[in-house]
Structure 1
């Protein structure tokens, strides 16, 4: 361990590689300024937080002028990624990549190669300047969409079909054995199974969602680029709507909606719902990739969409 910036930098081999994991915005700039006096030409500063890509564009150029190399890297995976390996999306000064590649690919999640061996790292160079943070931003926007779609499937099962938490848990667990197999569908089944004092915990969780900003940034960027991002945009607005709890409670005391009644084939409806969820997820990904494609033109990035898809196969 180190008890100061000076002792940290002094303990590193050249070229030094210093990775920041701090709140986005001014704290990143503040730490960069603390580091600069102690670094030498060719040393590398890495920002692993959820920074805005415009900030990473600026920092890459700023540090290059000072003879230093900058990497802005998206890291996805949460607690499980920290334990088992995350998906890592680096961008910035390309000449820094060779120095961090074995480290990043070593700690990243691994997925199966052609022989079924878990050797393919969920990490590759994304592009210049803020490309890494841009791709992570879109990744999070797609994740916002995924979560909203799962919520809407849940609410149809609960309020239209009148299903219990146990019944919905079984459906999501079955769906996780199909094309919908994913971390989010898996943990949805897990949370629906969780009981507290004999009652499904999900019914006790406050129905207000927060957000760190990456989904909103994705929507704002799509507006700037003129790309229709309808699904992810609606997912962001759904979070905003959930946050105005007091207004919703007040409105519900004045306005009541119809009570839906389902009379069809329940099993057939659930299968249609599964297929609708799959189709909607494809729309979410397609719109996210459309944003990346336009951004590549706008910012002169050479984004490899296939490689980005491979990076998202594990860890995140």
Structure 2
């Protein structure tokens, strides 16, 4: 029987599953998209198991089941919960690792509670690379259930400079997703600030991409030392493989978003 299960095997779900496996825990993976399961099956070994149906997935897990739902936020999460409920037992633990609105997480927490299912809404930060090598995790919901999944979450999480895992129980109901929302909003604000600084340096000060890269790198040595300033310096100096230009000169001035920044402003 597998110790952990993940629903949703796109890049984030797949990488989290590999992270779990790489840290010594057994994991089952399932997706309603069969090609995703087929791709996941290429990594199959004694600790990583692909499954092709809801029942096969649930039956493959030891009890109490610990299942991470890593899919798009909104209606797909509710549909997944309805598919799972008839197959689960009281005491099983569900984690939602997507960018769900904390109001939805509050509702799902109480809906699952009525069925005896423990629910944890968990912010996951670090993107695709973090999912594989160590994300920052922000779980909130049922604290007793968190204690049961903590050994796995602490093992797969990023580690700080002192070696402590970047995961901590945030609080009740949707507090984990609330913190992730605020985290994203702050990040987007900093990115907007950097883009305005870039615009001024380029259009007003007449700085080249390499000069701007050096400025951001210098700032990263002081009080504003952070991942965002570090990667901004790297992006600005990156040369294009196909032209003599810098990559930044070929990037469109548009960006997509998942809604968390707007939610924070409401």
Q: Do Structure 1 and Structure 2 share a fold, with TM-score over 0.5?
A: yes
Report what 2:221 is aligned to. 177
By how many angstroms is 1:79 displaced? 2.3
The Cα offsets for residues 91-115 of structure 1, whole Å up to 9 and x where unpaired, read as: 01122111111111111010123xx
Supply the distance in 1 between the matched residues of 2:132 and 2:77 (Cα, whole angstroms).
25
Supply the distance in 1 between the matched residues of 2:84 and 2:151 (Cα, whole angstroms).
23
Report what 2:254 is aligned to. 208
* Larger RCO (alpha carbons 8 Å, 6+ apart): 1
Aligned length: 215
Gaps of 5+ in 1: 114-118, 221-316
Report what 2:152 is aligned to. 103
Q: Which of 61, 66, 71 is equivalent to 1:22?
A: 71
Gaps of 5+ in 2: 1-49
The Cα offsets for residues 121-141 of structure 1, whole Å up to 9 and x where unpaired, read as: 110000100000000000000
Q: Which structure carries more helix by proportion? A: 1
Supply the distance in 2 between the matched residues of 1:60 and 1:95 (Cα, whole angstroms).
14
Report what 1:58 is aligned to. 107
Report what 1:73 is aligned to. 122
Report what 1:249 is aligned to. none
Supply the distance in 2 between the matched residues of 1:176 and 1:79 (Cα, whole angstroms).
24
Report what 1:218 is aligned to. 264
Q: Which of 184, 188, 194 is equivalent to 1:144?
A: 188
Q: Secondary structure at the match of 1:88?
A: strand
State the 4+ residue runs in structure 1 displaced beyond 4 angstroms: none
Supply the distance in 2 between the matched residues of 1:199 and 1:164 (Cα, whole angstroms).
11
2:212 paired with 1:168: yes
Q: What does 1:1-316 align with in structure 2 at a 5 Å threshold?
A: 1-113=50-162, 119-196=163-240, 197-220=243-266
The Cα offsets for residues 195-233 of structure 1, whole Å up to 9 and x where unpaired, read as: 22111121211112221100000001xxxxxxxxxxxxx
**Which structure has the greater CA radius of gyration?**
1
Supply the distance in 1 between the matched residues of 2:238 and 2:161 (Cα, whole angstroms).
31
- More displaced, 33-42 or 180-189? 180-189
Supply the distance in 1 between the matched residues of 2:192 and 2:61 (Cα, whole angstroms).
44
Supply the distance in 2 between the matched residues of 1:198 and 1:211 (Cα, whole angstroms).
31
By how many angstroms is 1:83 displaced? 3.1
| TM-score normalised according to structure 2 size | 0.79
Supply the distance in 1 between the matched residues of 2:161 and 2:231 (Cα, whole angstroms).
22
Supply the distance in 2 between the matched residues of 1:93 and 1:26 (Cα, whole angstroms).
22
Supply the distance in 2 between the matched residues of 1:6 and 1:101 (Cα, whole angstroms).
25
